[in-house]
Structure 1
Amino acid sequence: MTRNVMVAGVGMIPFAKPGASLHYDEMGAHAIRDALADSGIDYSLVQQAFAGYVYGDSTCGQSALYRVGMTGIPVVNVNNNCATGSSALFLAHQAVKSGMVECALAFGFEEMQPGALKSNWDDRPRSMARFIEVADQLVPDCDQPGAIRMFAGAGQTHMKKYGTKLETFAKIRAKASQHAARNPLAIFRKVVTPEEVLASPMVWEGVLTRLMACPPTCGAAAALVVSEAFAKKHGLRTDVMIAGQALTTDGAALFDKPDMIDLVGFGMTQSASRIVYEQAGIGPEDIDVIELHDCFAQNELITYEGLGLCDKGEGEKLVERGDNTYGGRWVVNPSGGLLSKGHPLGATGLAQCFELVHQLRGTAGNRQVADAKVALQHNLGLGGACVVTAYKRAA
């Protein structure tokens, strides 16, 4: 498969707290219309659509898309936990890359409820049952909800194994707030200091404060991907190309030789990034800007190592050097990331795409990364799924 796939248009609505947003179908429709307007594509030219959401009934994707138009095209609803949005993008990209279609739409939305993530089904085995069982063995006497137990437990493991300090995670959260202050679509735009992060209520003593966790969020985002030939035929922009993309799941070793860091997707991240680097003909040293899955500050640091930005155990040094922000080696999460921009599960991966496309176009305003040519996206879902995508600014 050698045909080039371009991101012709992106759309995103401002993220909001639960109860302060439109309903999911309206949010999704707004994001789709914005992506169509950004691309200049008439909706009648879209051949397939992939809708991402986690919490909702069947065919919610159709409910949102029908507000834009009803043309009879295939609509596939996608649920891959927190990697849902980028999984929808993966399918749209795959459809165009393979030659099945010339123009595909990926969109995602989430209308979330306050509080920790939870299952709506209590009469059947939970998809995360084995993960929780292993986490109980590795982190005994922990009464935290599932996601906190997983990601904060992985952070605790990193602290014990490599001497990483809680203050380092606070610096990551403070950095996220500094970036989000420049993003009008972010839910939290107040700048906080590392000291304020550490002084926020302690959720897990010595391991996690409240500000180190992302908030439940409502929102929507969308992207239109097209073949290069289609773009040229219709006079669309061809300045951002998907140079590589991979979706990975967990390997058998996850439960055979359990480790908290692997339990939150480290192995999936390593596998996906290696595939993408080979596909795109790049390495970490070639990347200018990154949007990665910082659902907890701890996971951002772990992901530095999973993506090969540094060796295992060296994430703290990367933070101390300032290599995760403006003026450093990479700018990580210029949008503010999940920690400050927000994390509406089905929309997150497409919101990352939105940010990186604008970075490569040079249209990111006062959060623009200077002369950005190569961008990397990382979106993770426990259970598991990991999508890594490389974008290049076309010559």
Structure 2
Amino acid sequence: MSNRTYVIGVGMTTFSKPGTKEGDYPDWAVEAGSAALADAGIGYDAVQEAYVGYCYGDSTAGQRAVYGLGLTGIPVVNVNNNCSTGSSALYLARRAVRAGLAECALALGFEKMEKGSLGMKYPDRTNPMDKHVMALGELREWEQAPFAPQMFGMAGREHMELYGSKPEHFAWIGWKNHKHSVNNPYAQFQTEYTLQEIKDAPEIYAPLTKLQCSPTSDGAGAAIIASERFVDEHDLWDRAVELAGQALVTDVPDTFSSRSARTLVGADMSRKAATAALQEAQVDIADVDVIELHDCFSANELVTYEALGLAAEGEGHTLVESEATTYGGAGPVVNPSGGLISKGHPLGATGLAQCAELTWQLRGQADQRQVEGATVALQHNIGLGGAAVVSLYTKAA
């Protein structure tokens, strides 16, 4: 048998404003994990390894999260890779299966977050992003605004100054993703706004308004990865989606030497990861029909258009002007789920929610969000500090 890998089951909870979701992280993990197992049509006893991602929680919370699914003695590995935690868990599960170390592995992510903007939890030790902070501080003065939107807002300002993009371009991305989320029952926000309402929302850090920023969220997501042999033996071809290419990339020398805010927030990591994942999957970016992209802020979606090769450097805003990345555009459709901006962003669960959305899209199960005729999908998930994960999905042959 080959070393090909398949998603055979996915599940997620609704994403909710912190403090409003009933239950606790073990409950949400069981909900998402049970949904993924039911989707795959297998029991937890078929899972041979589990990789569980979260950023905010005590050590071994991953074990506590999956013990509600069963006590089978399998290895459970806790994963923390900032905002790319869920995709990093997916990467490890896929890697175990691809290497032949397991026939079936679970990737699960959850987060129980605090209200308000992200901040440091341990100010008595070196900040893991101290190098990024210092490098950005050499480019622009820090302002009285939350840390994360400043970082990505700096990238947006840089793009505007170098290439002529305007606040309206970033606002359109926020408008698009909120519009998409109206059809997503799992999304934290399901409200459509006018473009003017997006522009007029309270400014967080120019050019970003509140409706162009992802919220903190509670929730969980899960995916089950299996080998070709497992899919064949359990006759799961009717639900299998091939995970055909994947790459995890950390910061590169240019991250700190380029004197670019876009690079400091992950553009080069994303570019390198996309190139590697596309090459492994043997597809071109022009073949991709649907994308779930890490739009933690609208500026990052525009910058990532270029990093993924959807547009040449400096031309990401031309996709906005032609409305290419929404339904009816030249494509691909980007963030049909509503993206992080509208679906929500529970850090450990985000990557698994992206996987779930793209699996549903390629199966033709995305209901009113369905991208007609989708056969190739791309997932992009980054965490500063840093890690970028890009995954390519194709309909199983």
Which AA in structure 1 matches 2:215? Answer: P
Q: In the TM superposition, what whole-angstrom CA distance separates every residue of 1:108-161 from its partner, at most 9, and x where no partner exists?
A: 000011111112111111101111111111111423232112101111111111
- Say which SS state the counterpart of residue 56 (structure 2) adopts: coil
Question: Does the CA-based 8 Å contact 1:136-1:142 persist in structure 2?
Answer: no
| Cα distance in structure 2, aligned partners of 1:209 and 1:373 | 34
Match of 1:251 in 2: 252
1:18 matched to 2:18: yes
- Say which SS state the counterpart of residue 224 (structure 2) adopts: strand
1:340 matched to 2:325: no
Match of 1:228 in 2: 228
| Cα distance in structure 2, aligned partners of 1:262 and 1:120 | 25
* Aligned residue runs from structure 1 range 307-326, under 5 A: 307-326=308-327
After superposition, the Cα gap between the structure-2 partners of 1:96 and 1:288, relative to the gap in structure 1 and judged at 3 Å, is same
* Aligned residue runs from structure 1 range 243-322, under 5 A: 243-322=244-323
Q: 1:2 offset after TM fit, Å?
A: 4.6
Q: How many residues align?
A: 394
| Cα distance in structure 1, aligned partners of 2:149 and 2:180 | 24
Question: Does the CA-based 8 Å contact 2:231-2:240 persist in structure 1?
Answer: no
Match of 1:200 in 2: 201
Question: Does the CA-based 8 Å contact 1:85-1:347 persist in structure 2?
Answer: yes
Match of 1:387 in 2: 389
* Aligned residue runs from structure 1 range 1-395, under 5 A: 2-21=2-21, 22-204=23-205, 206-237=206-237, 239-328=240-329, 329-395=331-397
Q: In the TM superposition, what whole-angstrom CA distance separates every residue of 1:28-59 from its partner, at most 9, and x where no partner exists?
A: 11100110011011111100000000000000
- Say which SS state the counterpart of residue 85 (structure 1) adopts: helix
| Cα distance in structure 1, aligned partners of 2:391 and 2:103 | 20
Q: In the TM superposition, what whole-angstrom CA distance separates every residue of 1:293-342 from its partner, at most 9, and x where no partner exists?
A: 00000000000000000101111111111110111221000000000000
| Cα distance in structure 2, aligned partners of 1:210 and 1:326 | 24
Q: 1:358 offset after TM fit, Å?
A: 0.2
| Cα distance in structure 1, aligned partners of 2:323 and 2:377 | 18
| Cα distance in structure 2, aligned partners of 1:371 and 1:58 | 43
- Computed over aligned residues only, the root mean square deviation of the Cα atoms, in angstroms, reads 1.1
Identity of aligned residues (%): 51
| Cα distance in structure 2, aligned partners of 1:251 and 1:358 | 34
| Cα distance in structure 1, aligned partners of 2:33 and 2:204 | 37
| Cα distance in structure 2, aligned partners of 1:257 and 1:156 | 16
| Cα distance in structure 2, aligned partners of 1:339 and 1:37 | 29
Q: 1:258 offset after TM fit, Å?
A: 2.2
| Cα distance in structure 2, aligned partners of 1:335 and 1:317 | 22
- Say which SS state the counterpart of residue 100 (structure 1) adopts: coil
Unmatched runs of 5 consecutive residues or more in structure 1: none
Query: What TM-score does the superposition give when structure 1 sets the normalisation length?
Result: 0.98
Which AA in structure 1 matches 2:341? Answer: L
Which AA in structure 2 matches 1:6? Answer: Y
| Cα distance in structure 2, aligned partners of 1:82 and 1:141 | 22
Unmatched runs of 5 consecutive residues or more in structure 2: none
Q: 1:67 offset after TM fit, Å?
A: 1.1
Query: What TM-score does the superposition give when structure 2 sets the normalisation length?
Result: 0.98
| Cα distance in structure 1, aligned partners of 2:220 and 2:240 | 24
Which AA in structure 2 matches 1:159? Answer: M
Q: 1:68 offset after TM fit, Å?
A: 1.2
Q: In the TM superposition, what whole-angstrom CA distance separates every residue of 1:241-277 from its partner, at most 9, and x where no partner exists?
A: 0110000011112222321000000000110000011
- Return 153-162 or 80-89, whichever deviates more: 153-162
Q: 1:62 offset after TM fit, Å?
A: 0.5
